[in-house]
Every structure is written in structure tokens, then in C-alpha cells.
């Protein structure tokens, strides 16, 4: 049975620091220290408590998709993440519908769309 390991997101050159701050400060990922990465890897790695990862690659041609997105179950931390989005002046939308978990959508500094599920 397949399990999710990581997503690799493109960022424009020079945008990785802002993207990394979003991943750490807003979503709660941790940066994987460079010394833990395989030698010769020119990608930044971020890891969640469950072991899943987000990798960032410089992409001079990066254009964020309109609908393609990363969906992450954040559970009970959704409210705190929503507060951090607001404090960081990141625009977001909240959705609540009976029978579905609450959902927040936002775009990261590189324009990638995130679906955060409670």
C-alpha cells in the first residue's frame, strides 16, 4: 500500500527563505539540517512530526498552479495555524460543512496552494 513521503515544491530563486519561514513558523514543519541530507542534494528539506516532508527546489520557471495543491491533515492545530496565518497577514479562506472536516486554504510565499484540513 502506498504511503505519502514528501512533496517537492518549486520556488523562484531567492524565495526559499520566505518559503522556509512559512513552513516552519506558520505550518509547524522543522528544517532538516543540511548534514542529515544525502551529499550533493541541492534541495531544502522540511519534516513534520509524522515524518512526512516538504522539499523546496529552486525553479527559475516556477509558476504556481491555479488548482493543483498540497493537502495536509493538521487536525486540532488548524485553529492555531489559522491564527498564525492571520498574524502573518497571509490571506486564507475557511470552509465548514456538515459531514466534512473544517478546511483552510491559503497560498504560500511562492504562490503554491495549500489545503489544511482539521
Residue 66: CB partners within 8 Å, gap ≥ 6?
113
Whether 80 is in a domain gets the answer: yes
Number of domains in the chain: 1
- Whether the per-residue pLDDT at 40 is higher than 90: the answer is no
Instruction: Give the pairing of strands 6-11 and 53-58.
Output: parallel
pLDDT tens-digit readout, 73-115: 999 999 999 999 999 999 999 999 999 999 999 999 999 999 9
pTM (two decimals): 0.92
Whether 70 is in a domain gets the answer: yes
Domain range spanning residue 112? 6-117
Whether 25 is in a domain gets the answer: yes
Residue 106: CB partners within 8 Å, gap ≥ 6?
85, 90, 91, 92, 93, 113, 114, 116
DSSP category for residue 23: I
pLDDT tens-digit readout, 83-94: 999 999 999 999
CATH number at residue 86: 3.10.180.10
What is the rounded CA–CA span in Å between residue 44 and residue 7?
A: 12
- Whether the per-residue pLDDT at 42 is higher than 90: the answer is no
Whether 1 is in a domain gets the answer: no
Amino acid at each position: 500500500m502506498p504511503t505519502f513521503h514528501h512533496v517537492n515544491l518549486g520556488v523562484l530563486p531567492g524565495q526559499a527563505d520566505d518559503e522556509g519561514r512559512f513552513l516552519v513558523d506558520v505550518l509547524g514543519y522543522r528544517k532538516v539540517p543540511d548534514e542529515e541530507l544525502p551529499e550533493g542534494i541541492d534541495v531544502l528539506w522540511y519534516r513534520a512530526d509524522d515524518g512526512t516532508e516538504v522539499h523546496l527546489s529552486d525553479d527559475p520557471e516556477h509558476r504556481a498552479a491555479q488548482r493543483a495543491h498540497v493537502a495536509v491533515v493538521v487536525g486540532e492545530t488548524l485553529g492555531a495555524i489559522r491564527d498564525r496565518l492571520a498574524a502573518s497577514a497571509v490571506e486564507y479562506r475557511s470552509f465548514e460543512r456538515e459531514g466534512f472536516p473544517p478546511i483552510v486554504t491559503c497560498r504560500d510565499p511562492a504562490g503554491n496552494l495549500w489545503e489544511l484540513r482539521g
